[in-house]
């Protein structure tokens, strides 16, 4: 398994932007499909965005399409989530997740697929 550490969360006003980073340990980062999830208090953990091993395929939840962008830098073992036009309903703990997969173009949106998780970073959007 890979070890994941998220950073970049914080408090921002509605309409603002944040960039989350998720740094992975190990030498085989390019073998992992990656995802960002979020969990608000009292709610389930939901997919936000996902990206394939090479970064050529992505998936976004409808609620963030056009506002969030997922990307990765395999040379830096890091996946990013650029979040623009933030809304109060984006407030949650954001987690990154990794799944080792043979399929280079695979993009996974189901939490149960992912085998490694970070500790989460809090994002709070004030109105």
**For the residues 80-100, what does the mean pLDDT come to?**
98
Residue 57 has pLDDT above 80, yes or no: yes
**For the residues 71-82, what does the mean pLDDT come to?**
97
How sure is the predictor about 19, in pLDDT bands with cuts at 50, 70 and 90?
very high
63-98 burial by CB neighbour count: b if 16+ within 10 A, else e? ebeeebbbebebeebbbbbebeebeeebbbbbbbbb
How sure is the predictor about 47, in pLDDT bands with cuts at 50, 70 and 90?
very high
Tokens of 66: 């056009």
How sure is the predictor about 1, in pLDDT bands with cuts at 50, 70 and 90?
confident
User: How many Å separate Cα 98 from the centre of its chain?
Assistant: 10
Q: What percent of the chain has pLDDT over 90?
A: 95
What is the reported pLDDT for 27? 73
How sure is the predictor about 63, in pLDDT bands with cuts at 50, 70 and 90?
very high
């Amino acid at each position: 398994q890979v070890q994941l550490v998220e950073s970049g969360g914080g408090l921002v006003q509605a309409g603002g932007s944040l960039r989350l980073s998720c740094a992975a340990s190990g030498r085989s980062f390019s073998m992992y499909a990656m995802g960002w999830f979020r969990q608000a208090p009292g709610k389930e953990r939901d997919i936000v965005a996902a990206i394939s091993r090479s970064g050529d395929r992505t998936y976004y939840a409808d609620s963030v399409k056009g506002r969030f962008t997922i990307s990765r830098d395999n040379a830096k073992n890091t996946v990013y989530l650029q979040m623009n036009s933030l809304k109060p309903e984006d407030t949650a703990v954001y987690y990154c997740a990794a799944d080792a997969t043979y399929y280079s173009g695979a993009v996974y949106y189901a939490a149960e697929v992912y085998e490694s998780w970070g500790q989460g970073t809090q994002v709070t959007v004030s109105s």
